[in-house]
Amino acid sequence: MRIADWRSPDAHHHTLLLDPADLAWEFLRRNPDYHASFAAHPRTADRKPDGPARRWGLRFLADPNQGAHEATVFWHPEELASVIILAPTPARVGLDSFVVDDWLMSLPCRHGEDGTHVLLKEDKARYQILLTTPPKNGVVRLALIPMDIGTPRRAHATQKFWDYAMRGHPRPRFTGASRLDRLDIALRALDLRQSGASYRAIAETLFGPQLTDGPPWKTSAVRDTVIRLVRTGLIMMHGGYRKLLGPNQAQDSSRTRPSE
């Protein structure tokens, strides 16, 4: 990953505007093991849904040197609960049916054996769409919403995308700002720690030197907070980012699997 001045708040200014899927990418792209995996596989290695990207929750490997504001990141449909799945319908359904392929074809996309993956990002809107057949002018599609643990989130994303397509703009969204704000701070703490900063230096960068000049540092509450933030960042980097993508079957089964 490109080296940046992680001590500067400006280095993370853009992360305050990210949605959960993009924030998950910011954690993953800091993982050195992911860097090695990206370097070891060619761009064509992910034609199959179970290619090397699947290990990381991605559908296609993405360049870790690119941040969320510039990278085209496709998460695996079994990981990202908000992926919108569209299949062609054999006949026009309803009087108000409309086509989306005509304008989706102009957006960033990747082709795989499971279909065409399209990414729509505009202002605060982010929609990842899977067309089960190649895009074609005039095709009328229906939304597939499997009945699984991700059904509510997928249905909500599909409704928002329908609204976007019909009205030309998305409705206001709820992002759980307080949780994302804390994760943004954890991301900054992780970057500082990986660049060699001590916990005290991280505290001074994040909260100002005045908070480290009070009680003895080794017993201060600020030190404990910084350690927790760094720990959170490490957990998110090593797989925890998947929780930002929504519930999935693998996560659900791991909670219910008997201990060995």
Longest dimension (CA), the chain: 73
pLDDT digits (tens, 9 = 90+) for 146-181: 999 989 999 999 999 988 887 765 444 444 456 788
**pLDDT score at 235:** 95
Task: State the pLDDT confidence band at 94, using cuts at 50, 70 and 90.
Answer: low
Q: What 3-state class would DSSP assign to 17?
A: helix
H or E stretch at 65: none
From 80-89, 94-103, 138-147, 187-196, the region with the lowest mean pLDDT:
94-103
Closest residue by Cα to residue 110 from 75, 141, 150:
75
Q: What 3-state class would DSSP assign to 131?
A: strand
The residues spanned by each domain of the chain are 84-167, 177-256
Query: What pTM was computed for the model?
Result: 0.76
